[in-house]
Each structure stands twice: as C-alpha cells, then as structure tokens.
Structure 1
C-alpha cells in the first residue's frame, strides 16, 4: 500500500492532516499497550513543523527507505512484526484478521484466509517473512 493510501486511511475526518487522536488510534491498532507518552514522542518526531498535525509531506518522510539493503530489510521486518502478533515468525489468517479489525478494515475470517493464501508460496497456511518480503516488493500488497 502506498504511503498516500495509508495516510488517507489514518486521516479519518479527511481534512488532509493526521491529528494526534487519529495517529494514536492507528498506532494502538498495532501496539495496544503503547503509552500515550510513547505515542506522543513518535507523533512529535513526525510533526516537523510543530503544528500538532502531521501532513502528507511529514508522513511521507517516515516511509523513506534508505538505499542500503539492510535498512530496507529492517523496515520490512518491522512491518512484518506488526502483523505477527504472537512473534512466531509467521502471519496467520487470525493475526491478519485481528490487525485489520483494529485498523477499522473489517474483513471476514474467510477473506483473511484468502488473503494469506494469495501470498502463501509454500502453502503452509501462514505468511513467512520471506513471503511477506516478496509480496511487499511486488505490485500487489495483498495484506495491506
């Protein structure tokens, strides 16, 4: 998913800016135990002009990936870990269902099984990190 689409999904009131509340809701979808102070720290880091809102340019900066392969790998691993809730090294349809629900993208369990199946190259019923990387480097970002 492009950063523009992610931005638009976070910007619930469609005013072209992400408020602290919108940002907090998005972060808590992935990390429900994150404190308000931690969220505020992240928000402040992204809010370059200090207007207490994140615009598309400020948001895009968090999506800039360095040219080094290790940096890209680290960013992809971080994204993968957001879905791998039980930290077993694979994304199950159930984990996908939970994360998408937290993001307000209600998909049925059956839809989540199909989404996982679409990128599950070894047909084990889960998305491994290697399968996730392949998906993220393709034009089809099925899980996002």
Structure 2
C-alpha cells in the first residue's frame, strides 16, 4: 500500500488534508491507550507548516525510504500495532480487531485467509519475519492491512 493510499484512507472527509480528529482516530485504532498529548506531539511533528492539518506532502515524509535499520524499526512498530497480546505473532483474531478499529468491514474468514496467505510455516499466525516478507512483496494484496 502506498503512502498516498494510506493518506486517503485516513482522510475520511476526502478534503485532501488530515485533521487532528482524523489522525487521532487512525492512531487510536492501533493504540487505543495513547493519550491526546502523545497524539498531539506526533501530529505537530508531521504538520510542518503549522496549519493544524497534514497534507499529503507532509504525510509522505514519514514514509521516506529509510536506512535498513530505520526501516526495520518502522516495520517492527507496525507489526507491534497488530500484535495486540504481544506474543510475537499476529493471529486472525488480532487482525480482525485492528481492522475493525480502522473501520474496515472484514470478516473473520477473510482475516484467516489473509493470515494463511503469508503464513509460511503454517502455524496459523504471522510472525515478524513473515510480516517483513509480506510488506516487501510488491504484488501482495495483504498490504491492505494498513
């Protein structure tokens, strides 16, 4: 999923800008316990021009290709958002919960199919290594998880 697609999914009113409320809703889908102050700090860092809205250019800066270590950290943080119980793997249930929080109407069966599609060791979960492979694959439709 490209940063433009992520941006468009966050921009609920389709005005070409992400408001604080839209940003907050998106962040809380992943981290429900994050405080408003923490969200505000993140928002301010992205809102370079200080207009209290994030445009696609400002948003793209958090998706600039980083060095391998930074990329790994970004992937790990993203993985951790889906790994609700912090057991080091993403289950179909966890995927379903996060997608529901994001406002996606995905059935448990669809979540199970998504997990199965990238579950190389067939243990019923997505490990971090499997997640990295999924996210680096240019033709993998499971990137819609984000």
Instruction: Identify the residue that residue 137 of structure 1 maps to in structure 2.
Output: 136
The list of structure 1 runs, each at least 4 consecutive aligned residues, that deviate by more than 3 angstroms after superposition, is none
Q: Within 5 Å, give how 1:99-110 maps onto structure 2.
A: 99-110=98-109
1:69 shift after superposition: 1.6
Gap runs ≥5 in structure 1: none
In the alignment, the residues of structure 2 paired with residue 53 and residue 28 of structure 1 have an alpha-carbon distance, to the nearest angstrom, of 18
Bigger fraction of residues in helix: 2
Gap runs ≥5 in structure 2: none
Q: Within 5 Å, give how 1:33-52 maps onto structure 2.
A: 33-52=33-52
RMSD: 0.8
Q: Within 5 Å, give how 1:53-64 maps onto structure 2.
A: 53-64=53-64
TM, length-normalised to structure 2 = 0.95
Aligned length: 143
In the alignment, the residues of structure 2 paired with residue 81 and residue 17 of structure 1 have an alpha-carbon distance, to the nearest angstrom, of 27
Specify the SS of the correspondent of 1:54.
strand
